[in-house]
């Protein structure tokens, strides 16, 4: 098991409710969450406490796909999302916990993400790069007028 944890912080020029919705809308999630070079497909998404989601990323160049899913533990509209994540790949064992908080600021929303329990096979710096790319795509989606 791993104790890898990443902490991300970003201010995005959009309202907290809009960002919150982008984390729980299947079409939006498929558009912004896959990092550069990947496409995403949401297989299921039941956005309620105790509900779950299933998703996969496919690398455009190699065609290799990685599937994962989890359960929603906490949903506070416009403020907080907490969910688990588990890869289907047995080489990436364990359960991660992702907590996203949204706080209104003068120019939009302060977004904080903590992802805990990242499998040992995944270097934390790779998580940071992937999340940075995803958050760039998120900003492009929600900041568009």
pLDDT classification of 1: cutoffs 50, 70, 90: very low
Domain boundaries, the chain: 4-143
| Full-model pTM | 0.94
Second CATH level (architecture) for the domain 4-143: 2-Layer Sandwich (3.30)
35's CB contacts (< 8 A; 6+ apart) are 57, 129, 130, 131, 133, 134
pLDDT tens per residue, range 33-53:
999 999 999 999 999 999 999
Mean pLDDT of 49-72: 97
Contact 137, 31 (CB under 8 A): yes
């Amino acid at each position: 098991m791993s104790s890898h944890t990443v902490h991300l912080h970003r201010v995005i020029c959009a309202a907290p409710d809009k960002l919150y919705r982008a984390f729980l809308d299947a079409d939006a999630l498929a558009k912004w969450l896959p990092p550069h070079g990947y496409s995403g497909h949401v297989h299921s998404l039941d956005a309620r406490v105790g509900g779950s989601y299933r998703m996969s990323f496919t690398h455009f160049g190699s065609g290799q796909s990685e599937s994962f899913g989890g359960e929603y533990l906490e949903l506070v509209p416009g403020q907080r999302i907490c969910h688990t994540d588990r890869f289907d790949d047995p080489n990436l064992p364990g359960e991660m916990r992702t907590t996203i908080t949204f706080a209104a600021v003068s120019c939009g929303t302060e977004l904080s993400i903590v992802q805990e329990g990242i499998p040992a096979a995944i270097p934390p710096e790779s998580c940071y790069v992937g999340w940075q790319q995803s958050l760039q795509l998120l900003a492009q989606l929600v900041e568009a007028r």
